[in-house]
Amino acid sequence: MIISLGLGAALLIAFPIIEVHIKEPMFRLELFGRRIFSAANLAGFLGAIGRGGVQIMLIILLQGIWLPLHGYSYQSAPFWAGIFMIPMMAGFIVMGPISGWLSDTHGARLLSTTGMLITAASFIALSLLPYDFVYWEFGVILFFMGVGSGMFASPNTASIMNSVPPEQRGAASGMRSTLQNTGMTASLGMFFAIIIIWLAGSLPASLLSALTNLGLPQPVSQYFAGIPPTGALFAAFLGYNPVITILSTLPSSVVQTISSNSLAMATITGEHWFPMVIASPFMGALRVSFIISAILSLIGAIASAMRGKIYIYDVENNEDNGRTGS
């Protein structure tokens, strides 16, 4: 893995050097000399990192904790998690076309910057929610997060495309998509790393305490708590009771000891015990992720505000003296 990371870093360093010296580069690096192009792409890249991994983190929160605590079976949780995420999509669908239309008259800077600020505020609001939140509050925050994303996306894309000559818009579109997809991929890796590191440090102690309180012997509790926490979490994400999944991996002697305590066995295999145990550690990791996303969105808003006024490349004269405005 270390070799792969090193090779990847070396290739990233080599990429711009190679692109500058070849006849038909994939990246037109000279386009970054345009203020609007650079600022809009930087804002889009930071926004993609900030929000790229959030949706799957929220789905894990719903499937692994909130839905089981509210009576939904693990088998039905994946379906209902998608249903409960609809407000985010609705906000994006409502605001996307409106912001695109408004940006044609008022420019991209105000709309895109405001969209990033709304997204940052939404992350901060999510970080303040408890794990057993009231759904309408969660849904309202998701809706405004979608509004912020929709307000940013269309004007920002139009700003990038309007800043370059027509013959370079294909390259500009590819560069924008590459940076956005790279940001979203990096976001997934970053947030999963935060979740895994945080749970590895805090969940075993939480499991051990909860199992010991049920009267199980400490060696058995320690064996159970030593199971990788992410495996249990992703079992819930895939629609399986994570405790039953864990028990299937334990030695038969450990399972027999647990089974001999009928109250403990009934408690831990129920649908409420594991979500209650994992809730606090997981929410701690999630809050850190939300704060990082808010900071990235705020930096993205600053980058968006630096793009300047309305700009449209002068196609007829093939000159960089496009229309400007407020």
* 78 and 205 fall within a common domain: no
Q: Please give the pLDDT value at position 92.
A: 93
Q: Are residues 39 and 182 in the same domain?
A: yes
Per the prediction, the chain carries an average pLDDT of 82
Identify whether residues 76 and 161 lie together within a single domain: yes
Residue 169 lies in a domain: yes
State the residue range of the domain holding 273. 197-278
Quick check: 179 pLDDT over 50? Answer: yes
Best CA proximity match to 310, nearest among 166, 112, 120, 148: 112
Give Cβ neighbours of residue 56 (< 8 Å, ≥ 6 apart): 188
Average the pLDDT over each of 36-50, 71-85, 97-111, 137-151 and give the range with the smallest value.
97-111
Residue 21 in domain: no
Tell me the mean pLDDT in the region 37-52. 90
Is residue 318 predicted with pLDDT exceeding 70? no
Which range has the worst mean pLDDT, 16-30, 60-74, 81-95, 161-175?
Answer: 16-30
- Find the length of the chain: 326
Longest dimension (CA), the chain: 85
Q: List the Cα angle 102/104/107 in 5-degree steps.
A: 80
Residue 140's pLDDT is what? Answer: 96
Angle at 287 between CA 301 and CA 296, to 5 degrees: 20
For residue 323, name the pLDDT band (cuts at 50, 70, 90): very low
Region 251-267 average pLDDT: 81
* DSSP labels, 28-92: -GGGGGSHHHHHHHHHHHHHHHHHHTHHHHHHHHIIIIIHHHTT--TTTHHHHHHHHTHHHHHHH
Residues 201 and 155 in one domain: no
Q: Is residue 22 part of a domain?
A: no
Domain presence at residue 178: yes
**Using alpha carbons only, what angle is made at residue 110 by residues 105 and 112, rounded to the nearest 5 degrees?**
100
- Indicate the residue type of 303: A
Same domain, 161 and 204: no
The verdict on pTM exceeding 0.75 is yes
Contact 73, 236 (CB under 8 A): no
Measure the CA–CA gap between 93 and 241, rounded to whole angstroms.
34
What is the band of 80 on the pLDDT scale with cuts at 50, 70, 90?
A: very high
**168 and 252 share one domain:** no
- Residue 75 has a pLDDT of 81
Phi–psi pair at 299, nearest 5 degrees: -65, -40
- Claim to verify: residue 273 and residue 297 sit in the same structural domain: no
According to the per-residue pLDDT averaged within each range, which of 9-18, 27-36, 223-232, 299-308 is highest? 299-308
317, two tokens:
């004269």
Cross-strand partners of 319: 314
Question: What is the reported pLDDT for 139?
Answer: 95
Reported as a pLDDT band with limits 50, 70 and 90, residue 288 is: very high
Are residue 77 and residue 209 in the same domain, yes or no?
no
Angstrom distance (rounded) from CA 217 to CA 219: 6
| DSSP calls for 215-271 | T--HHHHHHHHTS-HHHHHHHHHTTS-HHHHHHTTS-HHHHHHHHHSHHHHHHHTSS
Average pLDDT over residues 27-44: 84
Please give the average per-residue pLDDT across 144-152, as a whole number: 93
Mind listing the pLDDT tens digit for each residue in 51-69? 888 888 898 889 888 998 8
pLDDT: which is higher, 140 or 196: 140
Mind listing the pLDDT tens digit for each residue in 198-249? 888 888 888 888 888 888 787 777 777 777 777 767 776 776 777 777 777 7
**Inter-residue contact 43 to 300 (CB < 8 Å):** yes
Which residues have C-beta within 8 Å of that of residue 266, sequence separation ≥ 6? none
3-state SS assignment for residue 314: strand
| CATH number of the domain bearing residue 160 | 1.20.1250.20
The answer on pLDDT for 326 being more than 60 is no
Query: What are the Cα distances from residue 79, in Å, to 63, 67, 103, 204?
Result: 9, 11, 36, 29
Q: pLDDT tens digits for 291-314?
A: 999 999 999 999 988 876 655 555
Instruction: For residue 65, give the nearest of 81, 54, 51, 79 by alpha carbon.
Output: 81
